[in-house]
Amino acid sequence: MKDAIPHTPWRIALLAGGDSEERAISLKSGASAQAALASRGHVVVALDPAEIDLESLDWRQFDVAFLALHGRFGEDGQVQQILDQAGIPYTGSDATTSRLAFSKSAAKERMTQFGVATPSYVLIHYADDAARIRRMVAQIGFPLVVKPDSQGSSLGISIVRRQEDLAAALSLCFQYDSFGVVEEFIAGTEWTVGLLDDLVLPPIQIETPREFYDYHAKYDDDATQYRFDTDAPRAVLTLIEDMAKDACRALQTRGMARVDLRLDEQNFPWVLEVNTIPGMTDHSLVPKAAARMGIDFAEFCERTIAAAFSGRPPRPYLLQNPAVARRMPEQR
């Protein structure tokens, strides 16, 4: 992979911000990636979709787009579709996979088809009457998890242990999406695995004093711990890694991705979701795992961009840039 990193600068459009509920986190990801890539000599221009019309932009001034957008109009395939139409390579998964992964229910259906273990669930809608919701919830049983179908950063998620707490959980869920997922609760430990195409990064065990790894545990709580050195046997870590790879293969992710899992009390991993644009600050989990392998943040950002060119047909104007042409030898 190092051979794909250029000796001359890339011209990078760095997309961050947007108007989703995850705007603040996206801006942090974008600022960190921009600084890292600029430190390696690349020309990086930050673009905020909340402030600029991406469809009217002249993309010929850039070699590649680096996506640091989280949430809607970032991870849901809309931006990817615009970039495909513009003919500009971009980091991460294509529009189809992004759209699929952003819907928890659709992703779970696909993973189930490919034999990837994911907790059982039912899909509900805010307009469902109380009787239907009771019937659907009964299929899962307590304790259970209520989460918006399409939302990131653990926003709108609740663990519900008693019937009397269900209404509040549903109300919170529907603040973020008209569809909700009611999912089997897996007792055990929280894990995450980062991937860059076929490169699997070391699994991280997440420990929080909160009930689960919620938004505040992710971004605000200094008590949250991230552990590479755990008591889990090597065979269990391998099983976690394999399950993460299988989940990404099922959804056909490309480039960087992060798979969130629960390891149950029998040491069996269950995939909760696949994130196609994970956080990209130097404190985020995927860069932490890359650093564990000896890949610093700036190099990991470069590797993420190099992966954007792999397997994508070149655009004629890109071949005018020697740095890009070197990564497309088959087109010379």
Catalytic residues: 22, 153, 219, 258, 260, 273, 275, 279
Two structure tokens written together for 201 = 């990064």
DSSP letters of 218-275?
HHT-TT-EEESS-S--HHHHHHHHHHHHHHHHHHT--SEEEEEEEEETTS-EEEEEEE
Q: Residues 301, 1: contact at Cβ < 8 Å? A: no
From the number of C-beta atoms within 10 Å of its C-beta (0-12, 13-18, 19+), residue 328 rates as middle
3-class SS at 205? strand
Q: List the end-to-end C-alpha distance of the chain, in Å, as a whole number.
A: 20
Please name the amino acid found at residue 244.
Answer: A
Please give the Cα distance from 272 to 108 (Å, whole number): 8
Q: What is the largest CA-CA distance in the chain?
A: 66
